[in-house]
Structure 1
Amino acid sequence: MKPVVSALNAWSCVVISIFAIVILSVLGSLYGSNNHSFTGSEGDPEDGPAVAASIYVAVIVYAGFFVFCGFQAYLHLRDSRGGAISLR
């Protein structure tokens, strides 16, 4: 298989996806536990678990990006070594 995106884009997507998964997971857990600093004032949402559920959907989307971009990066690594079977 040939990679669809460039190596720089694939590795950038991998790094951004990892950071997004970590940060959004922390935010989702804080909203899910009804932490008073996130759900306590007037401008904050009242239903913390509903907000946490939508944040976890975003985590799943970023996990999909991570898998796709990680596979693209793997294809670039394999291609730079001479293909699936190297005869060197």
Structure 2
Amino acid sequence: MKPVVSAFQAWSCTVISVFAIFILGVLGILFNANHHELVGGVEDPENGPAVAGTIFTAVIVYAAFFVFCGLQGLLHLRESRRGAIAL
């Protein structure tokens, strides 16, 4: 199987996805717990768990990016070990 994206794009996407999963996961947990810094102000959202659901959906999307881009990076590693010529 041949990679769809370049090696640099695959590894960049993998690293960005890891950071996004971590940061959005923490924000989702805080919104789900109705943390006063996030839902306590006048213009802040009132329903923290609803916001947390949306954030956790984004975490799932980034997890899919992580899996896809990680597999693309591994395909590049496998291809470079077999002596393939990169154009």
Structure 1 length as normaliser, TM-score? 0.93
Moved over 6 A (4+): none
Figure out how many residues of one structure are paired with residues of the other and give that number.
83
* Partner Cα distance (1:9, 1:50) in 2: 33
3-state SS in 2 of match to 1:13: helix
- Structure 1, unaligned stretches of length 5 or more? 84-88
3-state SS in 1 of match to 2:2: coil
Partner residue, 2:17:
17
- Structure 2, unaligned stretches of length 5 or more? none
> Considering only aligned residues, what root-mean-square deviation do their CA atoms show, in Å?
0.8
Q: Quote the offset at 1:68 in angstroms.
A: 0.2
3-state SS in 2 of match to 1:4: coil
Quote the sequence identity (%): 66
Structure 2 length as normaliser, TM-score? 0.94
Partner residue, 2:52:
52
**1:31-70 superposed matches below 5 A:** 31-70=31-70
